[in-house]
Amino acid sequence: MKVLLTGAAGSIGQVVSLGLVDRGHEVVGLDLARTPDGFDGTWHTVDCVDPDAVADAVGAQPLDAVVHLASHPDEASLPATLASHVITTAALLDAMVEHQVDRIVYASSNHAVGRTPRTHLLGIDARPRPDTFYGVGKVAAEALLSLYADRHGIDAIACRIGSFLPEPASVRHLSTWLSHDDCVRMVDAALTAPAPGFAMIYGISANTRAWWDLTPGRELGYHPRDDAEEFAGRVAPAPADADEAAYVGGPFALPAFHRSALDRTGE
């Protein structure tokens, strides 16, 4: 498939880019940053909040799908968050409608349900329960994907990613880890699943201590092979572990992340 990958210069983007090429896809990169070393293909240096620039990039070549990873990965003010997650997704969806691209794979986050107390394995039917404005942005972007799936017949797969890391570094990560190889498997499955319509899956590895249900992902064809448990012996317990285990969003659900929605300092 010919795939436009936003955030292609980012930490997830570079791994996914190489992985998709290995799996026989053609990747067109898009990022605020310029082409990273080693990327061999078409590249668009574009800010995804600019709908004209996004439409130009989407229309510049025929595409089978978009993988949207570009966004600010941390907590910010509400307006900045909505721009980073919702406006970028809207710009892409409008461009996809305009240029007849009918599939998008979206990097959502566990923080869309992060404020859910950690008492049971969480399915995709759990109510949206963001832990931060970041989580609110992801929930809103998921809603936009659902709207465009219903209105325009776009296949839209929201992958609620856990902790994308080379290996788990904390006790929470033993539950939330998504390995690099499983991330590629997940995106490939979301790109190639036959007619998924609007779908949500949890993006974690096959962790023995998983907090999210992998069944929806497996039904879509995502079969993770890694398990954070293999690293358990190397992860040292830390004082923050108990607090981080209270809600599935871990640190994001803690008071340290409480802040005003609107920045009135003028900075």
Smallest gap from Cβ 52 to ligand 15L, in A, equals 28
Q: Tell me which of 84, 88, 163, 179 binds ligand 15L, using CB under 6 A.
A: 163
Q: Does 109 bind ligand 15L (CB under 6 A)?
A: yes
Catalytic residue among 134, 148, 202, 247: 134
Which of these ranges, 50-58, 118-126, 160-168, 190-198, lies near ligand 15L under the rule CB under 6 A?
160-168
Q: Does 176 bind ligand 15L (CB under 6 A)?
A: yes
Q: How far apart are the first and last CA of the chain?
A: 43
Tokens in use for 146? 């659902």
Q: Does 256 bind ligand 15L (CB under 6 A)?
A: no
Q: 247 catalytic, yes or no?
A: no
Q: Tell me which of 74, 98, 150, 263 binds ligand 15L, using CB under 6 A.
A: 74
Instruction: Single out the residue of 127, 124, 141, 135 nearest to residue 212, CA to CA.
Output: 124
Q: Does 88 bind ligand 15L (CB under 6 A)?
A: no
Q: What angle do CA 89, 145, 74 make, to 5 degrees?
A: 50
Which of these ranges, 18-26, 48-56, 103-111, 193-201, lies near ligand 15L under the rule CB under 6 A?
103-111
Smallest gap from Cβ 197 to ligand 15L, in A, equals 24
* CB-nearer residue toward ligand 15L: 95 or 226: 226
Tokens in use for 96? 């996809």
Neighbours of 195 (CB within 10 A): 7
Q: Residue 81 belongs to what H/E stretch? A: helix 78-81
Burial class (CB in 10 A: 0-12, 13-18, 19+), 28: buried
Strand partners, 247: 117
**Residue 208 carries which side chain, given as an amino acid letter?**
T
Active site residues: 134
Q: Which residues bind ligand 15L (CB under 6 A)?
A: 73-74, 109-111, 161-163, 176, 250, 252
